[in-house]
Amino acid sequence: MAITYLKKAAPRPVSETGDLRDLVSIMLANIARDGEPAVRHYAETLDNWTGEIALSDADRAAACARVPEPLKDDIRFAHANIRRFAEAQKASITDFETEVMPGLIAGQKSIPVNCAGCYVPGGRYSHIASALMTITTAKVAGVKHITAVSPTRPGQGIPDAIVFAMDLCGADLILNLGGVQGVAAMAQGLFGSPPADILVGPGNAYVAEAKRQLFGQVGIDMFAGPTDSLVIADHTASARTVALDLVSQAEHGADSPVWLVSTDRALAQSVMARVGQLIDALPEPNASAARTAWAERAEVILCDSREEAAQVADRYAPEHLQVQAEDLDWWLGRLSAYGSLFLGAETTVAFGDKSAGPNHVLPTSGAARYTGGLSVHKFLKTVTWQRCNADASHELAARTARISRVEGMEGHARAAEQRLRP
């Protein structure tokens, strides 16, 4: 296997996660002890927010009214696509029952969680699409109560377009909160919300760490790191298109890796030559984020064959995987480790990030080796049940008792043998 790195990522700096974990732990402990006053304190000191935490119906309606109608139409378009895809996912889930042996009936059913907490990022960018992806999917799954939070802006609160998206998707309660305090408020059920059964949605390192520490007390969608993206391109690809797709993902942040895997040296070199100019054409702070990401986190890898390229992609297990190459059906059948796959030059990760339909909350940092992204399945508990008649019960009892005694579990044996009595 001949793999050549035309560009290699810089070594990652020494992690400061210990300090971050300690800070998040202290914040969560303070909120667990003091409840809403602690949340208000953090909202004021960290986000300069002194207004109401729970958005009133009147304030929600006013925010929605301020959103321009063309933007509302765009948001409705994206919401409809996301809803339709989630509905198709739900339709693929089937409750069933089967006769395992004569007289023993067992089954499976899916039950939605009672309350979901949806975190919508709002720091450098206003992530309208994250509200659509998380809240819509929970609603389609049948979740009874959905609480949504997002960071505030001083004197404004949550941006109007995000409030409109939250309202359109069916959020039952909207809280003017971001960061650790927003996550903790949903987990504990503060400000009129039931305690969340599951917390979902992307966020910064503090949000991700808060979800990690709360996991077990509540469910979470996944452990998330910086977003990442990989493009596979052969000689048929457009260098400008590939370069734009890489730059568009690099603008997420300075720590967001982007990778190009190519079977064509000329194409790879042309992409590398174009990236700098495309980054320079971005506004700030997008350009600075993309420039650092490209300089420190990006890699360009040259492979001898498409099979080698597929093996590299499977090893990286990217969050987003684009293929701009011949024979797209071959790639669809061959590739096995990715959060979401984007096939062909007419398809881009940007579509998936904003409006295409499949969810954009996806596994990062190689987690696509063992898990998929957010879906209706995350909000559903797949549970089983069983019942049996006397004939089945007698046979099960005898066999269960014998296995139990070999294991040394006499209580189990006796509970089973109770079913043998008249």
Domain ranges of the chain: 17-220, 226-369, 389-420
Q: Are strands 115-119 and 145-149 parallel, antiparallel or unpaired?
A: parallel
CA dihedral 194, 198, 203, 205 (to 10 degrees): 110
Q: Look at domain 17-220 and name its CATH class.
A: alpha beta
Which DSSP symbol is given to 11? P
Helices (H), 317-370: 328-334, 349-354
pLDDT at 92: 95
pLDDT at 122: 86
Which residues lie below 8 Å from residue 95, measured CB to CB, with a gap of 6+?
Answer: 107, 108, 109, 110
Place of tokens 């006796």: 414
For CA atoms 85, 90, 93, 94, the dihedral sign is negative
pLDDT at 16: 58
Which residues lie below 8 Å from residue 116, measured CB to CB, with a gap of 6+?
Answer: 134, 138, 143, 145, 146, 147, 196, 197, 198, 199, 200, 379
Please state the pTM of the whole predicted model.
Answer: 0.93
* CATH classification code of 226-369: 3.40.50.1980
pLDDT at 60: 97
The pair phi, psi for residue 175, each rounded to 5°, is -115, 135
Which residues lie below 8 Å from residue 70, measured CB to CB, with a gap of 6+?
Answer: none
pLDDT at 146: 98
Same CATH fold assignment for domains 17-220 and 226-369: yes
Q: At what angle do helices 69-91 and 160-169 cross, to 10 degrees?
A: 40
> Which residues are part of the catalytic machinery?
319-320
Q: What token pair was written down for 117?
A: 């907490």
Residues of the chain with pLDDT under 70: 1, 14-17
Which tens digit of pLDDT belongs to each residue from 27-46?
999 999 999 999 999 999 99
Beta bridge partners of 74: none
Q: Is 365 exposed, middle or buried (0-12, 13-18, 19+ CB in 10 A)?
A: middle
pLDDT at 123: 72
Q: Is 103 exposed, middle or buried (0-12, 13-18, 19+ CB in 10 A)?
A: middle
List Cα–Cα distances, 23 to 13, 122, 252, 312, in angstroms.
Answer: 20, 21, 24, 37
Considering just the CA atoms, what is the radius of gyration of the chain in Å? Answer: 25
Which tens digit of pLDDT belongs to each residue from 343-370?
999 999 999 999 999 999 999 999 999 9
